[in-house]
Amino acid sequence: MASSASFFLLLLCMAAVASAQLSPTFYDTSCPNALSTIKRAVTAAVNKENRMGASLLRLHFHDCFVQGCDGSVLLADTATFTGEQNAVPNMKSLRGFDVIDNIKSQVEAICKQTVSCADILAVAARDSVVALGGSSWTVPLGRRDSTTASSSLANSDLPPPFFNLTDLISAFDKKGFTATDMVALSGAHTIGQGQCQNFRDHIYNDSNINPGYATSLKANCPRATGSGDTNLAPLDPTTSYTFDNAYYSNLLSQKGLFHSDQELFNGGSTDNTVRNFASSAAAFSSAFASAMVKMANLSPLTGSQGQIRLTCSKVN
Ligand code: HEM
């Protein structure tokens, strides 16, 4: 009797694990053209505006780090609902929502209410990296969309640019990442742009910055708060629109845009990882790919949890 009860329990556990598992072939029969549709739309969006690749990659990160990869970041505020888009790390900073809405409507046109917004974000992040010259990886699929969002978790769990190395390591450890994963994921800052208000302190007040680099940034980012706050600078001043390992060589020459970037190479425990990724493009792309898969696996909703949204910006 005891053994049949424990066998039943084991079956239950196995079923729970199985339902929580994502698979790269999830849409192979239910929507065989989903991935090619997403890829075509991402490539078109990136060709139209190179920066969009960076914005889409960041959307996926900001989705996964809050409640898990559940599309919560895409839910727009309404009179009765507060989402994540106006949380401090996201407000007037996250972009690409219109591109995701467009992809979702193209996917809805071929497969009604089948492909989740959370999966679209995960695939679009990968396709963005590839569109900008990075290596590809396989994205596990089958996430479902949340009916909730959390601006307070967005505020507490997304790392700000003034974090030091200890803060960064613990923010990523909280989500199950090693310091090496954190350094690899930060390589995403090899593309995209940042606002003056996020790097002002670093260029005026830190000493671990290349003087010529600081001077060039100051030209477009005045010292006074409130002046030029939203002016942009590339996160990678060398190859801004190419997904390569230049981010790490920049750090070796003290050309990290944010305080948090330069913390990864500032005499601390992650220096050697930065050196390794700077000297080996292959070591970086393989560490980046596995950390991205790990990130994309953060607490997905699966099975009958959540829903498949019809429109990514609102619950059904
Ligand atoms: C390690 C901690 C991180 C911090 C402190 C951080 C912080 C920031 C900040 C402050 C910006 C600029 C926002 C603005 O000025 O509007 C930014 C941009 C960006 N971040 Fe991060 N980030 C981190 C990790 C990541 C990760 C893990 C990814 C993706 C895997 C990522 C991808 C990006 C991209 C692609 C951009 C440029 C977006 C665009 O041009 O639209 N970041 N990040």
74 pLDDT band, cuts 50/70/90, is very high
Mean pLDDT taken over the chain: 94
C-alpha 201 – ligand 1 centre gap (Å): 17
21 pLDDT band, cuts 50/70/90, is confident
Rounded mean pLDDT of 264-278? 98
% the chain with pLDDT above 70: 94
Hey, which of 57, 58, 69, 156 would you mutate to test ligand 1's pocket, going by the most ligand atoms within 8 Å of its Cβ? 58
C-alpha 189 – ligand 1 centre gap (Å): 6
Which position has the token pair 């049949």?
4
Q: Which residues pair with 81 in a beta bridge?
A: 78
pLDDT digits (tens, 9 = 90+) for 165-192: 999 999 999 999 999 999 999 999 999 9
- Looking at residue 116, its pLDDT comes to 98
Q: How far is CA 65 from CA 79, 175, 201, 288, in A?
A: 25, 7, 25, 16
Is 84 annotated to bind a ligand? Reply is yes
Q: Using CB atoms within 10 A of its CB, is residue 189 exposed (0-12), middle (13-18) or buried (19+)?
A: buried
Q: Does 62 qualify as catalytic in the annotation?
A: yes
153 pLDDT band, cuts 50/70/90, is very high
Whether the pLDDT of residue 13 is over 60: the answer is no
Q: Counting atoms of ligand 1 from 1, which one is nearest the CA of 163?
A: 5
Rounded mean pLDDT of 94-114? 98
- Looking at residue 11, its pLDDT comes to 38
Q: Which residues contact 134 (CB under 8 A, 6 or more apart)?
A: 243, 244, 285, 288
Q: Counting atoms of ligand 1 from 1, which one is nearest the CA of 185?
A: 27
Contact 208, 262 (CB under 8 A): yes
The Cα–Cα gap between 89 and 155 comes to: 7
Taking CA atoms only, the protein residue closest to ligand 1 atom 27 is: 185
The Cα–Cα gap between 75 and 27 comes to: 23
Whether the pLDDT of residue 306 is over 60: the answer is yes
The Cα–Cα gap between 46 and 39 comes to: 10
Half-sphere exposure (CA, 13 Å, Cβ side) for 85?
15
The Cα–Cα gap between 246 and 239 comes to: 7
- Looking at residue 44, its pLDDT comes to 98
Rounded mean pLDDT of 69-73? 98
- Looking at residue 20, its pLDDT comes to 58
